[in-house]
Amino acid sequence: MSDQAASRQSALPADILAEQTTLLAQLDHYIDAPTGSVIPPIYPATTYARDAQYQLPSHGGTYIRDEDPTVAQVETVLAKLEAGADSKAEAMLFGSGMAGITAIMRAAIAVAGQQGRRARLAIQRSMYFGTVKLVETLVAANAAEIVWFDPHQADSLDAALDQPTDLVWIEVPSNPYLYILDIAAIAAKAHGVGAVVAVDGTVAPPLLSRPLHLGADLVFHSATKSLNGHSDVLAGLVTTIQTDHPIWTALRLERKLGGAVLNPFGAWLLGRGLRTLAVRVERSCQSAQAVAEALEQHPKVHRVNYPGLTSHPDHDLAQRQMPGGFGALMSFHVTGSSEAALSVIEKLKVIIAATSLGGPETLIEHRHTIEGPDYGAADDLLRLSIGLEHADHLIGDLVQALDSL
């Protein structure tokens, strides 16, 4: 272990890590009652028969948009993973990550409307551009009052929360710059003006960070990414402990009426992926630390954005807030312009040029090309998602590509 990796002040408590690892490996000690199978079945039915007394089945669903047994089983595992086996948390799966984000924002707007008010949403700047574009559609539709804040400007959040607010949306760590925000401090301020705090924790899966325990009300993950981990499922996840909050009721209705449900086969694949999450996260975090340190030493790289590096401006906060590790995502700035950054990608032989993160394969992309000039990604920046390959192989590939500049 490197000196920088060893500098991490704490680790996820051993009992919690053990509990989570076993929960995942066995999918909550799943054994199929009728057959003894240790693999859950898939229930692809869209509708369910009532009995002679016209009562619903034991799982309570009448139609697949209400509830599906395959989806519900995976939701139970994810709720325990995010909040703890003894919690009363609930999880809700969606047909995509963006479907989950959209549903949260629409639910906040709906709750305000039910109370005869126009919703007010405070949104973090510098985050995943898909979320930013979604918020821009809300602005264009005049659906809510939108207030943007810069989390690294001391007075920006205070100014955004100078009056009652319905929802505060933050992304921790942020994508693609890996900023770390103080979830507990933001939650305390937000709750002071009546806001629900939603955290996009996609870059830090539950084995690394636990926002619900830091004061967040809702935690969102693009389950397409690390939770599934095999680049073959499109899914979103929202989890809460506050299951009696109006926004949770509104969110469930939004999923049902909007039809943004996860299909049973997608849920089954997600459950399969969860079984290996603990070992995948451990391996990718270790490799990411090694890759980040190697990149930081290369003369053709002038900055690496990775919270595991002591040079990262939020490193100390990351140590406290991400006790399970610093994640598999990073970005770095190539000395030169967009042309130099794209040249690095062209010279890579192992790392794949593709958009996504959290899969078994290491992926690299030029975010400026993906996002365009209006969403903050510098033209010299490359985003790198570390997979399960050997770290030495990845470092060698990056070094030879950078050396060619």
Examine residue 231 and state whether it is found in any structural domain, yes or no.
Answer: yes
125 and 100 fall within a common domain: yes
3-state secondary structure of 194: coil
269 and 326 fall within a common domain: no
Reported confidence tier of residue 1, pLDDT bands at 50, 70, 90: very low
Q: Phi and psi dihedrals of 270, rounded to 5?
A: -60, -45
Please list the residues that pair with 94 across neighbouring strands: 236
Q: How far apart are alpha carbons 289 and 123 in whole angstroms? A: 30
Q: Phi and psi dihedrals of 286, rounded to 5?
A: -60, -45
Q: Is 48 considered catalytic here?
A: no
Instruction: Name the token pair of 17.
Output: 């890590």
- Give the per-residue pLDDT at 10: 44
110 and 217 fall within a common domain: yes
Q: What is the pLDDT of residues 252-264, one digit of tens each?
A: 999 999 999 999 9
Which residue out of 80, 189, 225, 283 is catalytically annotated?
Answer: 225
Assess whether pLDDT exceeds 70 at residue 8: no
43 and 165 fall within a common domain: yes
3-state secondary structure of 27: coil
CATH at residue 179:
3.40.640.10
Which residue out of 65, 125, 275, 303 is catalytically annotated?
Answer: 65
Q: How far apart are alpha carbons 341 and 357 in whole angstroms? A: 19
Q: How far apart are alpha carbons 404 and 386 in whole angstroms? A: 22
Which residue out of 43, 48, 128, 306 is catalytically annotated?
Answer: 128
Examine residue 113 and state whether it is found in any structural domain, yes or no.
Answer: yes
- Give the per-residue pLDDT at 376: 87
- Give the per-residue pLDDT at 9: 36
Which residue out of 200, 217, 379, 380 is catalytically annotated?
Answer: 200
Q: What is the pLDDT of residues 318-329, one digit of tens each?
A: 999 999 999 999
- Give the per-residue pLDDT at 154: 76
Q: How far apart are alpha carbons 74 and 43 in whole angstroms? A: 12
202 and 151 fall within a common domain: yes
173 upstream amide cis, omega within 30 of 0: yes
Q: What is the pLDDT of residues 291-314, one digit of tens each?
A: 999 999 999 999 999 999 999 999
Domain that holds residue 204: 14-274
Instruction: Quote the radius of gyration of the chain (alpha carbons, Å).
Output: 21
Of all residues in the chain, what percent carry a pLDDT higher than 90? 86
Short-list 98, 103, 33, CA closest to 69: 33
Which of 274, 309, 342 finishes a domain? 274
In Å, what is the CA distance from 178 to each residue of 5, 164, 174, 333?
17, 29, 5, 13
- Give the per-residue pLDDT at 5: 46
Q: How far apart are alpha carbons 210 and 338 in whole angstroms? A: 36
Residue 372 CA, chain-centre distance (Å), reads: 23
Q: Is 65 considered catalytic here?
A: yes
For the chain, give the mean pLDDT: 94
Examine residue 249 and state whether it is found in any structural domain, yes or no.
Answer: yes
232 and 307 fall within a common domain: no
Beta-strand relationship, 363-365 and 381-385: antiparallel
264 and 302 fall within a common domain: no
263 and 294 fall within a common domain: no
The answer to whether 387 and 196 are in contact (CB under 8 A) is no
Instruction: Name the token pair of 169.
Output: 């949306």
Mean pLDDT of 79-100: 95
Mean pLDDT of 282-290: 98
Number of H-type helices and E-type strands within the chain: 14, 12
328 and 232 fall within a common domain: no
265 and 296 fall within a common domain: no
Of the chain, the end-to-end C-alpha distance in Å amounts to 30
191 and 295 fall within a common domain: no
Please name the residues in contact with 55: beta carbons below 8 A apart, sequence gap of 6 or more. none
269 and 306 fall within a common domain: no
For the chain, the domain total comes to 2
Reported confidence tier of residue 7, pLDDT bands at 50, 70, 90: very low
Q: Is 15 considered catalytic here?
A: no
